[in-house]
Amino acid sequence: MSDDLDALKHATLASLAEATDLRAWDAIRVAVLGKSGSLTALLKELGKTAPEERKARGAALNVLKTELQAAIDARQAELEAAALEARLAAERIDVTLPPQPRAQGLIHPISRTMEEMAAIFGAMGFEIAEGPDIEDDWRNFGALNIPAHHSAREDMDTFYVPAPEGEARRRVLRTHTSPVQVRSMLTRTPPFRVIVPGRTYRADHDATHSPMFHQCEGLVIGRDITLGHLKGCLIDFLRAFFGVTDLPVRFRSSYFPFTEPSMEVDIGWSRKTGEIGGGTDWLEILGSGMVQPKVLANCGIDPREFQGFAFGMGIERVTMLKHGIPDLRPFYESDLRWLRHYGFNPLSPAMLHEGV
Amino acid sequence: MKFTLSWLRTHLDTDASLETITDTLTMIGLELEGVENPATSLAGFQTAYVVEAVQHPNADRLRACKVDTGTEIISVVCGAPNARTGLKVVLGLPGAVVPANGMQLKVGEIRGVKSEGMMCSTRELGLGDDHDGIIELPDTAPIGVPFAEYAGRNDPVIEIAVTPNRGDALSVRGIARDLAAAGIGTLKPFAPAPIEARFASPLGWAIEMPQSCPYVLGRVVRGVKNGPSPDWLQQRLTSIGLRPINALVDMTNFFTIDLGRPLHVFDADKVQGGTLTFRPGQGETFEGLHGKTITVRPEDCAIADASGVISLAGVVGGESTGCDENTTSVFIECAWFNPVSVALSGRFHGVASDARARFERGIDPALMPQALDAATAMVIELCGGEASDVASAGAPPAWQRSATLRFERLASFGGLDVPADEAIASLERLGFTVTARDDASVTVSVPPWRNDVAGGTPLEPFAGLAPDRLDAVTAGAAAMEPEADLVEEVLRLRGLDAVPAVSLPVDGAIPAATLNPSQLRRSLARRVLASAGMAECVTFSFMPRDVAALFGAAPDALHLSNPIASDLDQMRPTAIATLALAASRNVARGIASLALFEIGPVFHASHEDGQPMRAAGLRVGQPARHWQGAAAPTALDAKADVLEVLAALGVPMAALSITADAPGFYHPGQSGLIRQGPKTVLASFGALHPKVLAAIDLPGPAVAFEIHLDAIPEPKRRKKSQPDLPAFQPLSRDFAFVVDETVAADAVLRAASGAERGLIERVSLFDVYQGDKLEAGKKSLGIEVVLQPRDHTLTDAEIEAVSAKIIAAVAKATGAVLR
């Protein structure tokens, strides 16, 4: 190799080694291989070389070019790696810093229970029926075989608002969800199955009573619905709702004006530990019965043609039992601490395939 | 209803255990409330004999006694004036707990004299009110016997809840009959001997209010000597918590409980004139035996003698004619009163008597002559005297009814296949009598004490039923109700546990959707808002009227006539109001920042259904400081909550418009309505008005929204069209417009988007500037317009043309100039 080429090679390799950043590196690349680079210039001058020397000179230049190109590329890779290292080091953050909080929202336990009821009864072919909270007294009382002189109609039990213009009778805040039974029978064509979760009102306020609370009513009307179906439906529900497959369920004779036969339903539990399904005690959980023939008739259904059953339960009560919530009043107080404690994740709604 | 086991056994022949009896009561609908054996509380008290009682050496009012316990002689110091030598007493030994005060006895020393026990009064033992001295047992009493046993107190007291349909179970005999029918023993016969009339009754009846009192019997017993009733009777009454008064009154209380047959006794000598008249009240007053004055109204059935009104029929008797120890001639009243009349009178006058409880459920109309004979016999037995003939007026109310049971209905309605003979036997044990029977059915007559069976109370049918439908359902109810009553009786006695449970048959393996579109909307909105970080609340539907007025309206039509508290008297016009009150409570507890929502009804007097379903939310307070900064909620955060819900509910967002006419409880300059089309309001949002915040003591900032879920149209369930996925790259251009500060940003954005619909994909606002680089009253809005070429790459000339159109359109719509 000629001396000048050798010198160029060594000078280039030396300056590449000295280059500590990509800018210096690029200057070297341009100075050697650029349009007016030193090697480029030598290549351009090749034509002026004597013909006998040209071949050898050409070969030497090409070898040098390949060598220098490789050295330049290698240095580029080294410098880029170093630059990335430096950048990563510079970009280090304190990963223990607290992030911006994302507020955690939640679903109220009453809504959750209603969802669970919809899921379980839905699987049994029920639809959800609804009606207004402010009712006329025929739908709340009269149609349900609760006569005018019944004590439930007294001011001490029932809230009233003034009669609408042109009507004689005060409206009531519905004392149960049963008026929706009446609405359902008047508007639906049997057979049908509905549940009615909703707000109810009674003039009672102490540690275990709230002037507003929630009930879930159920009504099944068909041609051949028997008391056996009532039992089966409620046992199926209670076992699914409480997640106890062998939950003991007991039916006791009782009385409600709108059903006959009427029965109270108890579930097995332990009074001492509160465990549902454990222990040897009984806990009253809901009222039920075969729909009174007069109630069917009041609502335009001939009891010779259709029969069925109805039931009603307190939503707060079953929620308290299921989740071990000791007090009723915090349900309505909207104390954020309580809501956070007992609330449910909105992204995990009640679905049978995920388990209610 | 309370009774004792021994009382029950006077009507029921059984050797069933207490537990069997109480379990059975619960299962047949006479729910057990509790069982208590007084012997438990009397443990440690026994009979004893005072061998010697002398003055205490160091105390004037005390006596030092030597008492024989039957096994030893102990020393007892006693303060009772009647503690004396030779007395048989009730003695509590160390360890016993005094029932009246829960004090446990121990050996002690009282003023230097040892006391190893306590001699007790009636009151201390919780057996009565007498506290004049210690109990004096008769000389014949044995010594060293547990007192509970001696006094016959080893007798469990059973309390049951009686449902309103079972007046017959408000009697020991009725309960015994039910138990016998359920297979627990045999009902003993009840057949009082007829009473021999010795004279004509000097008192008679007149009925002027037959709808309230259709039938009454009475009989005078003269020559009686009234006084304390015998021990057995006193004990019957005290065992269930009734206070003995005198023999005549105790007799009436006994039959009220024993037969469920309330009676009344007048002192015949105090009755003025010869006739007692049942008639409407006319505003007169009398002193009731319960110690209060009663003023009778025209709707009350009063009992009057020549002096005026002396009693309120079936509810409470009068003081003026009451029996006391001087009574020598008594007039026993045995009447049947209309249950509704008694219920309404008793309720109006606030009297809850044992008599009222039975009359208003309905008593056995056929038992009256026998009950009067039994009562007369007891008066003569306890007080001596002789009886008159029976004075009566009116006629017994018709009670005869029959009911038919088709045997197959036990299975097809009751779910349990019961053999016909067994079903009939059950009914017969309850007192039903068979009047006809064939292979398929039985017809029975209903016993007079069961007014709940085949009672035939009238229908209250829907006013809109067509006449032929009404006829059909009336006939249907008449046919089916008595049968349902009989099915209930048969199943009740067999136990409902015997009915096999059958799961409801389903139409197909996969049920149809359970929620309707409106319910689904609420469910989705709930999840969206909770996912946006808000906590769901359930607040009351009623609230303080003055606060409701702050939030819109407090119409009289939604003002409770009888609120339970003055701050729960008005139906809420919006849940923002109750959430704001809840937020205020939370802030008072030190929670500075919170986000709450509720989905539920609100109440409007004018709304067509009066009760729209709405989703309301509230974001309140300065969030906790954060090193990256933390922003307080603004009206636009509330707007974002609304838009998120609307989008999730499938509302076409591009078509929404915003107007600044939100309700008055919002800040007028920081609130708006979200509308779909010119008429439909889908939501309101904004900062709450500072006046409202001040009134409910809620520190700001506070922003709220209310989404009118019912107004949201159902999303169309059409199949989606093919997606628009152009192959060409979109490009964007920025514009800065200077406009008057009153110009809505939305107007600029809309004008820009509409400038070239086929090409403009999206317009967004990236900058709002107001300040000293602009002239006063102006603002600059920076917008980015994204163009989406569809069939070729845009040339510079085309881009220029679109830009010019955008500038022109915005200028035309808003007077904007390019900055």
Cβ pair B538:A110 closer than 8 A: yes
Chain B: nearest CA to A3, how far in angstroms?
56
B461: contact with A, CB 8 A cutoff = yes
**Virtual torsion, Cα B20, B21, B23, B24, nearest 10 deg:** 110
A346: contact with B, CB 8 A cutoff = yes
Q: What is the mean pLDDT of residues B253-282?
A: 95
Q: Band of the pLDDT at B607, cuts 50, 70, 90?
A: low
Q: What is the mean pLDDT of residues B525-551?
A: 96
H helix intervals, B31-109: 38-41
pLDDT recorded at residue A1 = 55
B558: contact with A, CB 8 A cutoff = yes
**Virtual torsion, Cα B258, B260, B265, B271, nearest 10 deg:** -170
Interface test with A, best of B537, B578, B594, B607 (most A CBs within 10 A): B537
Chain B residues within 8 A of A297 when measuring between CB atoms: 459, 461, 473-474, 476-477
Local structure of B3: helix, strand or coil: strand
A121: contact with B, CB 8 A cutoff = yes
Give the pLDDT confidence of B555-574 residue by residue, as tens digits: 999 999 999 999 999 999 99
Residues A33 and A68 sit within 8 Å (Cβ to Cβ): yes
- Give percent of chain B with pLDDT exceeding 90: 80
**How far apart, in whole angstroms, are the C-alpha atoms of residue B290 and residue B254?**
18
Residue in B463, B476, B561 closest to A161 by CB? B561
Encoded amino acid at B408, one letter? E
Q: Band of the pLDDT at B609, cuts 50, 70, 90?
A: low
**In order along chain A (356 residues), what is the average pLDDT of each group of 10 residues?**
82 91 92 88 84 85 90 92 93 93 93 97 95 93 88 80 85 95 96 97 90 97 96 97 95 94 95 90 95 97 97 97 94 96 94 84
Chain B: nearest CA to A13, how far in angstroms?
45
Region of B495 please: left (phi>0), alpha (psi -120 to 50) or beta.
left
Q: Band of the pLDDT at B42, cuts 50, 70, 90?
A: confident
Nearest 5°: the CA angle B419, B422, B424 is 110
Q: Is the predicted pLDDT of residue B697 greater than 80, yes or no?
A: yes
pLDDT recorded at residue A145 = 92
CA distances (Å), origin B285, targets B134, B192, B747:
42, 38, 79
Task: Flag the least confident range among A55-59, B170-174, B496-500, B792-796.
Answer: A55-59
Tokens of B752: 């820009």
Q: Which residue of A has its CA nearest to B612?
A: A132
CA distances (Å), origin A165, targets A162, B47, B280, B605, B606:
9, 74, 34, 11, 12
Residue in A122, A298, A332 closest to B538 by CB? A332
Chain A: nearest CA to B732, how far in angstroms?
31
Q: What is the mean pLDDT of residues B53-73?
A: 90
pLDDT recorded at residue B41 = 84
pLDDT recorded at residue B737 = 95
CA A10, A13, A19, A20 torsion: positive or negative?
Answer: negative
| Surface-to-core class of residue B752, CB atoms within 10 Å of its CB (0-12 exposed, 13-18 middle, 19+ buried) | buried
Q: Is the predicted pLDDT of residue B296 greater than 90, yes or no?
A: yes
Q: Band of the pLDDT at B543, cuts 50, 70, 90?
A: very high
Chain A: nearest CA to B406, how far in angstroms?
13
Q: What is the CATH number of domain A109-345?
A: 3.30.930.10
**How far apart, in whole angstroms, are the C-alpha atoms of residue A356 and residue A236?**
13
Residue in B519, B531, B558 closest to A347 by CB? B531
pLDDT recorded at residue A254 = 93
Q: What residues 181-220 of chain A have any CB closer than 8 A to a CB of chain B?
A: 186, 193, 199, 201, 203-205, 211-212, 214, 220
Cβ pair A261:B484 closer than 8 A: yes
A329: contact with B, CB 8 A cutoff = no
Cβ pair A155:B562 closer than 8 A: yes
pLDDT recorded at residue B127 = 76
Give the pLDDT confidence of B641-688 residue by residue, as tens digits: 999 999 999 999 988 999 999 999 999 999 999 999 888 999 999 999
Q: What is the mean pLDDT of residues B25-49?
A: 90
CA B599, B600, B602, B608 torsion: positive or negative?
Answer: positive
B540: contact with A, CB 8 A cutoff = yes
> In sequence order, what DSSP letters do the residues of B200-246 get, joined into one string?
--S-EEEES-TTT--EEEEEEEES----PPPHHHHHHHHHTTPPP--
Q: Is the predicted pLDDT of residue B440 greater than 70, yes or no?
A: yes
Q: What residues 22-61 of chain B have any CB closer than 8 A to a CB of chain A?
A: 26-29, 31
Q: Band of the pLDDT at B264, cuts 50, 70, 90?
A: very high
Give the pLDDT confidence of B456-487 residue by residue, as tens digits: 788 999 999 999 999 999 999 999 999 999 99
Cβ pair B415:A231 closer than 8 A: yes
Cβ pair B561:A98 closer than 8 A: no
Chain A residues within 8 A of B596 when measuring between CB atoms: 334, 336
pLDDT recorded at residue B722 = 87
pLDDT recorded at residue B795 = 92
Chain B: nearest CA to A101, how far in angstroms?
9
pLDDT recorded at residue A356 = 78
Q: Is the predicted pLDDT of residue B393 greater than 90, yes or no?
A: yes
**How far apart, in whole angstroms, are the C-alpha atoms of residue B219 and residue B201?**
6
Cβ pair B564:A123 closer than 8 A: no
Cβ pair B477:A296 closer than 8 A: yes
A305: contact with B, CB 8 A cutoff = yes
Domains along chain B with CATH numbers: 2-37+156-187 (3.30.56.10), 39-150 (2.40.50.140), 204-394 (3.50.40.10), 402-497 (3.30.56.10), 517-624+631-711 (3.30.930.10), 731-818 (3.30.70.380)
Cβ pair A159:B560 closer than 8 A: yes
What are the backbone angles phi and psi of residue B646, rounded to the nearest 5°?
-60, -40
Cβ pair A132:B609 closer than 8 A: yes
